[in-house]
Structure 1
Amino acid sequence: MRILGVSSFYHDSAAALIVDGEIVAAAQEERFTRIKHDAGFPEKAIAYCLKEGEVALQDIDQVVFYDKPFLKFERLLETYLSFAPKGFKSFKMAVPIWLKEKLFQKDLLRRKFKEFDSTFDWQNKLLFSEHHLSHAASAFYPSPYDKAIVLTMDGVGEWAASSVAIGNGNKLDIVKEMHFPHSLGLLYSAFTYYTGFRVNSGEYKVMGLAPYGEPKFKELILDKLVDLKEDGSFRMDQDYFNYCTGLTMTNDKFAELFGRPARRPDVDKLEQFHMDVAASVQAVAEEIVLRITRSLAKEYPDIPNLCLAGGVALNCVANGKILRDNAFKNIWIQPAAGDAGGALGAALNGYYFFNEKERTVTGKDHMKGSYLGPVFDEKDIQLRLQAVGAVYNVAENVEAMIEACVDALEEEKVVGWFQGRMEFGPRALGGRSIIGDPRSEEMQKTMNLKIKYRESFRPFAPSVRAEDVSDWFDLDTESPYMLIVSDVAQKRRKTMTEEEEALFGIDKLNVVRSEIPAVTHVDYSARIQTIHKETNPKYHALVSRFKERCGSPVVVNTSFNVRGEPIVCTPEDAFRCFMGTEMDVLVLGNCVLKKNEQNPRLALDYKNAFTLD
């Protein structure tokens, strides 16, 4: 049975293909259109999935959309009626768009799909899942567990902003929901807006900024903004927020509470105040999720497994706290936890929930390392490089290619690594990565300012061989999808001087804290990716060789893109990014490119090529 899942028309549109329960392909539309968080109909992602599955649209048994647009429209109307006459300006802007484009999405989807195949039976084969059910399905069905609690937290779906489901075999039932406007995702987004970052893309910046501050406003938030109960349920005082009826996330009363207006990103500098605000909302988010998970563990003592999905599940700092709290024995997080993953969940929901197919559990997850995107063979890579005028050498074999990479890393050069299938989800996991030597004291600054063109405070992740993780970090479990934050092992840390200990805020940035300073955040934490030979043998071999030569089973891993750009998909994307940054070496398959050998006329001004995120 072949099922196509689709998410679109909000942000991070995507498509996924399931064949007889196996995840065959999944990709975000942004990777093909080069528009970050592309919300349009995922035409190119669908075409890729069909090509990867070697099927035509007429061979698809069902197409499942990830939410129910009419219920979203119902929420919009009820929300505006609840707050009327407040927010009429926003209402007047929103309703015509809904009436024209969103309310009748079923017809819109049919029209879009008819461009693929005008004879397809959309009347009977186009199905709709609910938003949180799609998220829950994306987390439970690919997980290693036969039975699990599934916690979904995001901004909002149709009505639900947080939900709890019980997964058992091929069954998945939502048993609890917390409804809009009381949303942990929207609370975090409100502070994202207030600290001057873009909503729906800048939340991870708030998380990265938090360790530079102190949670001075945590009690103020819990006293004035959030009425938090012991079980983690809460209500938000809407007098301080503007997202229900306005065009901004927070209002003047919110600004008065914190003593200053929202930061204007192009005008106002980041100050210690903003770092303290970030630390405070992060602390509140952690408090909420820990209360929820502890309460669920007590309520369902016979279920030791927890699955996480929804945008809040990308908060890897909170995930690390859940793991160390030990309320649940096992935790698994969907790597595409945001709305892109809804496409995968919709397809899985179609297979198991709508069609009641049997589910096989093997003890391993079924995401294939999240390497579910396009792949390019050696001949294709070479033809594409020739077409763009690249100068390259072809290594004799994989071992020689890896040796060339390690040579570059040892010389503290920055390497673009393009191998195998592209990752599904927001993280680069060794398929489309930029890598460096974590022992370098300058690598974080170099990568942020000269490669990624982004804020200097942003941390980088370590990729570490799974068999070495506990020797370098306070983590004794797998973290293949870079969704767990843990501390650098005590024996790997360096003792700070009294002067260094006295620093605060952004001044902490340049202090060398460990043997791997490029991936050690200011609080000694790191967002860890464990590398597994079974899912990515080339990347594992690279880091293994780096360990043999340099003593470190760790490399710096960041996504292959610049700030505001989607992760690269094709060899051409990779070459453009290579030529538009100060990256030193690019490796695609066995093709090795050195910057100093390229035609300088092909250099690009990449710093301002994309809208800042």
Structure 2
Amino acid sequence: MKPKYYVGIFEGHFDPAVAVVRDGEVIAFNEEERLTRNKHAAHAYPVRALEKTLKDVGIGPEDVAAICVNWDAEAYGDGRIGTFFQSLRDRYDVDAATVAWQDRLLGKFNPEALEKLHHKAWRTIWGDIRLPPVRTVPHHWTHAFQAYAQSPYDSAIALTVDGSGDTHCTVVWKCEGQEITPLKEIPMPHSLGWLYAAFTEYLGFEAYDGEYKVMGLAAFGEADPTLRDKLREIVSLGENGEYSVDPSFIHYGPHTYSDRYTDRLADLFGRPPRLREEPIEAWHKNLAFEVQALLEETMIALVRWAQAETGFDRLVVGGGVGLNVKMNTRLFDMPEITNIFPHPLCSDSGAAAGAALAVCWQEDGVWPEPLGSLALGVSESNNEIEAVLEKTKLNYTRSEDVAADVAKALADGKIVGWVQGKMEAGPRALGHRSILADPRSEGARDKVNEVIKYRELWRPFCPSMQAEAAADYFDSYDDAPYMIIAFEANQRLKDEAPAIVHIDGTSRVQMVHSETSARYHDLIGKFAELTGVPVLLNTSFNVKGEPIVCTALDAVRTFCGTGLDVLAVGDFILRKDDLSRT
């Protein structure tokens, strides 16, 4: 039987992406920014990613069973969401900008408009041909389905939290067998995702890019009861995990400083927002601490209620707020929770894969397998890499054992760019497009910051370690192959690898399995043979303001323009102190 392919698309916002699913498995995933080199590729249709992904899979539009999108088009088309938006206008003093945004959604996400949008984009590539139908699935249900169906569990609580999707901002689900049932739905405008984005901008960072900076900064702050009381004027906690967000601080009112929050928020705290060039004061750190604590407290209350309702002790997390590592850590630390699976592609970008998996299940009855490797993107053969290197006229060598050669360079204190195999899906570098350093050396960590990444010195670096070594470095942990949760580091990790332990004593770890990352696992093992430490400092291979490198040419450009000492791309090695051909 001819295989059926389902293509998931996320477009029109930050990080548009394309996924291809066959037989319930994601076989390819690419984000538009990695190909265009425009960070986040905001508001674009992923044309480059679409063309490249289908080409690499070896299919054309005629092979695609459906274009899959994670919006509830039926509810947009039959008036339910329009009625919901009208109820918000009747209840709140909704400003003109919000009304215009609502009207744009109603005009874009109904079935006819969605099909027209996607078919128009596909025809820019393939011309006026017959195209597959567009299939849609509700937004938060897609997040829940993806997180649960690709988890290792057969029952779990699912928590989906984001800015908004269709009409909801947060949903708690009961997942059992192949049944996914909503237990509690919190609608717009009560969005913790929007709240966190608002404070990201208020603290001087960029929403949809700097939230992780707020999370990292929070560890440097202290509890501040005055700030906490002010935040309680914005977010109210009720019984049974309920919460509400006063939209007059976020949505409805004058927006002198930012589209993400109203002037009332700045007035509440009695000071204007921090400008990006201004120094970060203790007050900013304390506010970040309290905002993070509020998010964690709110989610803990919801999960505690859900656990009492279901009796389940396993948790999966979807939606963009699931990228908040510290929140995931606090949820794992709950005595009611035994295991946690925050999906590493939990944002709307990753929901391109979730939508395709969901439609494949609905159409063909194929339930997804648990998530494995995220190496799903662009790759180049050694022949293709060497052709690129020849064009650069730089000196390089072909290694007989690239893992051994790079391990020695790392043990000697070198900073290495590491490009191997298919590019990772999602925002984390997982040993395919990474910058690596010796975690024993805080000097190496500082060099990565100062002459390569050019980023804030207070942001943490993370470790990759052989999965079998995790018990040596953490007293309480779960399997964590995707760098989306942190655990309390024990004293041995603090002593042996101080460069990858955050100021709060935690470490956002990637546990590397030989079955899914053979060469990277081998590299860490060879580094351990030289140093006794089966851990590497791992950060994404990019500089500030750019996407993660995708191709060998991207890697060479970044290598030459930064303080990297060594570049290992495929089987080839370039050394900064030996670049010129004689």
Residue 577 (structure 2) aligns with: 596
Residues 243-282 of structure 1: pairs in structure 2 closer than 5 A: 246=255, 247-266=258-277, 268-282=278-292
Contact 1:465 1:540 survives alignment (8 Å): yes
How many Å apart are 1:429 and its aligned residue? 0.4
- Residue 453 of structure 1 is matched in structure 2 by 454
Match of 2:121 among 98, 112, 115: 112
Task: For 1:565 and 1:287, locate their aligned partners in 2 and report how far apart those are by CA, in whole Å.
Answer: 34
Mapped to 2, the partners of 1:20 and 1:335 lie a distance apart of 21
CA contact (8 A) 2:82 2:106 kept: no
Q: Residues 170 and 358 of structure 1 are in contact (CA less than 8 Å); yes or no, is this contact kept in structure 2?
A: no
Task: State the TM-score, normalizing by the size of structure 2.
Answer: 0.92
Aligned partner (choices 185, 198, 206) of residue 190 of structure 1: 198
How much does 1:77 deviate? 5.4
Question: In structure 2, how many angstroms separate the alpha carbons of the residues matched to 1:129 and 1:121?
Answer: 23
Q: Distance in 2 between matches of 1:160 and 1:239?
A: 18
8 Å contact 1:448–1:458 — kept in the other structure?
Answer: no
- Deviation at residue 323 of structure 1 after TM alignment: 1.2
Q: Secondary structure at the match of 1:566?
A: coil
Say which SS state the counterpart of residue 509 (structure 2) adopts. strand
**Cα offsets for 1:355-381 (capped at 9, x unmatched):** 2504265xxx23x32111122111111
8 Å Cα contact 1:416/1:586 also seen in 2: yes
Q: CA deviation at 1:101?
A: 6.7
2:425 aligns with 424
Q: Specify the alignment match of 1:206 in structure 2.
A: 214
8 A Cα contact 2:565 2:576, kept in partner: yes
The one of 276, 288, 294 aligned to 1:284: 294
Uncovered stretches (5+) of structure 2, i.e. residues with no partner: none
CA separation of 1:248 and 1:376: change in aligned 2, threshold 3 A: same
Following superposition of structure 1 onto structure 2, how do residues 522-537 of structure 1 map, counting pairs within 5 Å?
522-537=503-518
**Is the contact between residue 80 and residue 245 of structure 1 (CA under 8 Å) also seen in structure 2?**
no
- Distance apart, 1:222 and its partner CA: 5.0
Contact 1:34 / 1:566 at 8 angstroms: preserved in 2?
yes
| Contact kept? 1:90, 1:245, Cα under 8 Å | no
Once the two structures are TM-superposed, the CA of residue 317 in structure 1 deviates from its matched residue by 1.0
Q: How far has the Cα of 1:221 moved from its partner? A: 4.3
Change over 3 Å in CA distance of 1:333–1:98 after alignment to 2: closer
Match of 2:313 in 1: 304
Say which is worse superposed, 178-187 or 465-474, in terms of deviation: 465-474
Q: Secondary structure at the match of 1:235?
A: strand
2:238 to 224, 229, 232: 229
Aligned counterparts of 1:462 and 1:262: Cα–Cα separation in 2: 34
The answer to whether the Cα contact below 8 Å between 1:71 and 1:159 also exists between their aligned partners in 2 is no
In the other structure, the counterpart of 2:20 is: 17
Q: Distance in 1 between matches of 2:286 and 2:244?
A: 23
1:567 is matched with which residue?
548
Q: CA deviation at 1:121?
A: 4.5
What's the C-alpha RMSD, in Å, of the aligned pairs? 2.5
Q: Structure 1 residues 253 and 348, CA, compared in 2 at 3 Å: closer, same or farther?
A: same
Aligned-pair distance for 1:271? 0.7
Asked if the contact 1:252/1:261 (under 8 Å) is kept, the reply is no
1:495-506 matches, within 5 Å, as: none
Matches within 5 A, 1:169-180: 169-180=177-188
Secondary structure at the counterpart of residue 340 of structure 1: coil
Amino acid at match of 2:463: P
SS of structure 1 residue aligned to 2:403: helix
- Measure how far apart 1:151 and its partner are: 1.1
Distance 1:348 1:89, change over 3 A: closer
Residue-by-residue CA offset, 1:467-514 (whole Å, 9 max, x unaligned)? 111212334321100011112103444xxxxxxxxxxxxxxxxxxxx3
Deviations 1:157-187 (A, max 9, x none): 1211011233344443434311111011111
Instruction: Report the TM-score when normalising by structure 1.
Output: 0.87
The one-letter code of the counterpart of 1:546 is F
* Equivalent residue letter for 2:331: I
Q: Which runs of 5+ in 1 are unaligned?
A: 494-513, 601-613
**Change in CA separation of 1:42 and 1:89 when aligned onto 2, cut-off 3 Å:** closer
**Structure 2: how far apart are the matches of 1:439 and 1:79?**
57
Letter in 2 for 1:205: K
Q: Retained in 2: the 8 A contact 1:170–1:356?
A: no
Distance 2:56 2:285 in 1: 45
Identity %: 36
Match among 372, 384, 387 for residue 383 of structure 1? 387
After superposing the two structures, state which structure 1 stretch, 76-85 or 234-243, moved more. 76-85
Q: Distance in 1 between matches of 2:398 and 2:473?
A: 34
> Whole-Å Cα distance in 1 between the matches of residues 536 and 482 of structure 2?
15
**Pairing 1:67-216 to 2, within 5 Å after superposition:** 67-68=71-72, 71=76, 74=82, 78=86, 81-82=89-90, 87-88=95-96, 91=99, 94=101, 104-118=113-127, 121-122=130-131, 125-216=133-224
Shift of 1:35: 1.3
Secondary structure of 1:339 counterpart: coil
1:5 paired to 2:20: no
CA shift for structure 1 position 71: 3.5
